[in-house]
Chains A and B, each alone.
Chain A
Amino acid sequence: MQKFTVLDGLVVPLDRANVDTDAIIPKQFLKSIKRSGFGPNAFDEWRYLDHGEPGMDNAKRPLNPDFVLNQPRYQGAQVLLARENFGCGSSREHAPWALEDFGFRAIIAPSFADIFFNNCFKNGLLPIRLDAAVVDALFNAEAKAAGLRLKIDLEQQAITTPDGTVYRFEVEAFRKHCLLNGLDDIGLTMQHGDEVKAFEAKHRAAQPWLFN
């Protein structure tokens, strides 16, 4: 997994609440058996004017000029700013795969859906919860100054704006450790294999019908 330490990235504002994973990556792209290549189809139905299907040459498709990600000033954005309940709906990890493949490294919103939030951390993508008022302030700052960049420091759990304002954010210690170091958590769990075996033996003795 890609490490996340410090990011100095351009912000793109997606001013909507309840952005669901069907919107982030529509179902027709879930037929792929790979975990890469979803970036060109991130937000497919909002981003293009035609109907997208797997295997199309996306470079030749008509873009929706009104969709924020298509506007020239946001090209190369790495920080997605959104409203409440971002990533709700399906558990599809294709959603963070698509966002990461598109080039995002961090998402800032007042709240995230639980499964999506969890999936981000497995893919080097940092979801940051900030108070709705702070998110509002960031939307306003972005609207005033085209090309807003934010410095996001995971170690310090701090976001710094160009005018020097610092916003602190929370992140669970274990997730932070894994993301800072790019650790594969399967490998970490396997170090506790003996404990899992001991638990399993005890569990089997108590509820043998679970092991039929």
Chain B
Amino acid sequence: MNPQTLYDKLWNSHVVRTEADGTALLYIDRHLVHEVTSPQAFEGLRLAGRKPWRIASMLAVADHNVPTSGRAQGIADPIARLQVETLDENCAALGINEFKMSDLRQGIVHVIGPEQGATLPGMTVVCGDSHTSTHGAFAALAFGIGTSEVEHVMATQCLLMKKTKSMQVLVEGNLGRGVTAKDLVLAVIGKIGTAGGTGYSLEFAGSAVRGLSMEGRMTVCNMAIEAGARAGMIAADDTTIAYFKGRPFAPQGELWDKAVAYWRTLHSDAGAQFDKVVQLDAAGIRPQVTWGTSPEMVVAVDGRVPDPARESDPVKRSGIEHSLKYMGLTPNTAMTDIKIDKVFIGSCTNSRIEDLRAAADVARGKKIAPNVKLALVVPGSGLVKQQAEREGLDQVFIAAGFEWREPGCSMCLAMNDDKLEPGERCASTSNRNFEGRQGQGSRTHLVSPAMAAAAAIAGHFVDVSK
């Protein structure tokens, strides 16, 4: 047989049938569900008199709308409350496994899936959320879908789709001190652009990627979508397999051994052909900070805000001008001279235990700067929160002036009360710096957890590699 890419293997092992034009019916192993993109799908199913095909494939959790403080009082916003209650009712009516707001296991859907072992290598994983690419870190084929597709998967356990092209993102070498998975993926996006991965599935490979923990690999795959790729993935290895040992939904005993034998085949074969290969030198990656309103608008922390006068492409130049105006930035300003108003440490990109440890290491024994009005730490799940508290990280943050909150998506998309006021500038560990993303008029700078914590302490961006 010809050498295959990891994507080929995952794709081929899930094709039910293929239409003449190449559109395939792809079988879905795991369907993760949250409150925002599912109500219309449940309603569609009901109106058509259909039932979910395989209820055991589904795992539901409310994360986007949930408050991160005062949980005992419930959700104050009646519209948000209705949406969460609708999820509860739909799951109860159909017998779908749901982690409710009061459950210790509740958290961001992309944190809890792997944490529970509900995401496994070799699976197809979907969710009505673009950051489903996160799960590709485990050698799974995982991508976000729209609500019509959520309904389609519920009804048929399948999705209609065409195979994408494949791109290998090869990062060789060692990341420097203070340089993390977040910086690696922001550097990739800076290189290929937010549409660079459109029409492709990305496989991240190379020694720098193999050297990452599973948490770091999830951060990298999480942001594949910010490079335009619906799916990002990483080959399974010892790190991957070790992660699942003893997880509640993971196989045990004889089945574990059988599963591991299969998981060890989940890598691109030597000589496999990719449609495109992009290479980066890990040693050359510096801590990254975005300056604009698209994740590709990123520079190294020791760099400067770009000058649109130096851009020759008129569409790009007007994009830079528009972004700088929105962000309230002057061309050629040193990134380390930019002062911030708020800090957000959390989101499906960076809210796992390793992220909280990295941020706490920077904050330990220090105080947030007087110009920082609010610094939030929002763990990715109740279990991450519990682990952090066992390690005393909550006390480190609280002593430094951070607020320690309950798990959820929080200020990443600001659907709940955690948001920026117009014009406020935030160092954020989330994934999108779009206009209005963290609240109308919000100004977001994407950074790693260590960079966010360091900015909180200094009141402006600082180079954590120094």
Whether A122 pairs with B146 at a CB distance below 8 angstroms is yes
The reply to whether the CB of A123 lies closer than 8 angstroms to some CB of chain B is yes
Interface segment among A21-29, A59-67, A98-106, A145-153: the answer is: A21-29
Interface size on B, residues (CB 8 A): 84
Whether A91 pairs with B130 at a CB distance below 8 angstroms is yes
The reply to whether the CB of A133 lies closer than 8 angstroms to some CB of chain B is no
The reply to whether the CB of A165 lies closer than 8 angstroms to some CB of chain B is no
Whether B434 pairs with A89 at a CB distance below 8 angstroms is yes
- Chain B residue with the shortest CB-CB distance to A31: B79
B162 touches which of A45, A54, A172 (Cβ 8 Å): A172
Of the A-B pairs whose beta carbons lie under 8 Å apart in the complex, a sample of 21, sorted by A's number, is A22-B432, A26-B436, A27-B415, A30-B415, A35-B40, A51-B440, A85-B228, A89-B130, A91-B132, A91-B146, A93-B40, A111-B195, A111-B198, A114-B164, A172-B22, A173-B20, A185-B152, A186-B152, A193-B156, A196-B25, A196-B27
Could you tell me the distance between the alpha carbons of A200 and B53 in the complex, rounded to whole angstroms?
11
Query: What 7 pairs between A and B have smallest CB-CB spacing?
Result: A209-B251, A122-B148, A119-B146, A33-B39, A93-B146, A173-B21, A91-B144
- Interface size class for chain A? 35 or more
Query: What residues of chain A lie closer than 8 Å to B128, measured between beta carbons?
Result: 91, 93
The reply to whether the CB of B36 lies closer than 8 angstroms to some CB of chain A is yes
Whether A85 pairs with B21 at a CB distance below 8 angstroms is no
Whether A27 pairs with B151 at a CB distance below 8 angstroms is no
CB of B127 to closest CB in A, whole Å: 8
Query: What residues of chain B lie closer than 8 Å to A189, measured between beta carbons?
Result: 25, 152, 155-156, 158, 160
Q: Mark B371-401, 1 if CB is under 8 A from A, else 0.
A: 0000000000000000000000000000000
- Chain B residue with the shortest CB-CB distance to A193: B156
B contacts, CB < 8 Å to A: 13-14, 16-17, 19-23, 25, 27, 29, 36-37, 39-40, 43, 48, 50, 53-54, 56, 64-65, 77, 79-80, 82-83, 86, 120, 122-123, 128-130, 132, 143-149, 151-152, 155-158, 160-162, 164, 194-195, 198-199, 228-230, 249-251, 255-256, 258-259, 262, 294, 315-316, 318-319, 322, 413-415, 432, 434-437, 440
Could you tell me the distance between the alpha carbons of A26 and B155 in the complex, rounded to whole angstroms?
29
B435 touches which of A22, A54, A212 (Cβ 8 Å): A22
Query: What residues of chain A lie closer than 8 Å to B255, measured between beta carbons?
Result: 208-209, 212
- Chain B residue with the shortest CB-CB distance to A175: B23
Whether B27 pairs with A203 at a CB distance below 8 angstroms is yes
Whether A18 pairs with B194 at a CB distance below 8 angstroms is yes
Query: What residues of chain A lie closer than 8 Å to B199, measured between beta carbons?
Result: 114
A85 touches which of B129, B130, B198 (Cβ 8 Å): B198
Could you tell me the distance between the alpha carbons of A92 and B149 in the complex, rounded to whole angstroms?
11
Whether B120 pairs with A28 at a CB distance below 8 angstroms is no
The reply to whether the CB of A47 lies closer than 8 angstroms to some CB of chain B is no
Considering only residues 1-51 of chain A, those with a C-beta below 8 Å from chain B are 15-18, 20, 22-23, 26-28, 30-35, 45, 51
Whether A115 pairs with B146 at a CB distance below 8 angstroms is yes
Q: Mark A184-212, 1 if CB is under 8 A from B, else 0.
A: 01100110110110011001000111111
Whether B262 pairs with A85 at a CB distance below 8 angstroms is no
Whether B249 pairs with A212 at a CB distance below 8 angstroms is yes
**Given A185-B152, A196-B25: A114 touches B146 (CB 8 Å cut-off):** no
Whether A192 pairs with B25 at a CB distance below 8 angstroms is yes
Could you tell me the distance between the alpha carbons of A28 and B370 in the complex, rounded to whole angstroms?
31
Whether A212 pairs with B25 at a CB distance below 8 angstroms is no
Query: What residues of chain A lie closer than 8 Å to B130, measured between beta carbons?
Result: 89-91, 115
The reply to whether the CB of A55 lies closer than 8 angstroms to some CB of chain B is yes
Q: Which of A32, A93, A186 has the most CB of B within 10 A?
A: A186
Given A85-B194, A85-B198; 6 other pairs, CB 8 A cutoff: A16-B319, A31-B77, A31-B80, A88-B228, A185-B152, A189-B156
- Chain A residue with the shortest CB-CB distance to B436: A45
Could you tell me the distance between the alpha carbons of A72 and B257 in the complex, rounded to whole angstroms?
68
Could you tell me the distance between the alpha carbons of A85 and B129 in the complex, rounded to whole angstroms?
18
CB of A169 to closest CB in B, whole Å: 16
**Given A186-B50, A209-B255: A122 touches B149 (CB 8 Å cut-off):** yes
Query: What residues of chain A lie closer than 8 Å to B315, measured between beta carbons?
Result: 17, 83-84
Query: What residues of chain B lie closer than 8 Å to A16, measured between beta carbons?
Result: 319, 322
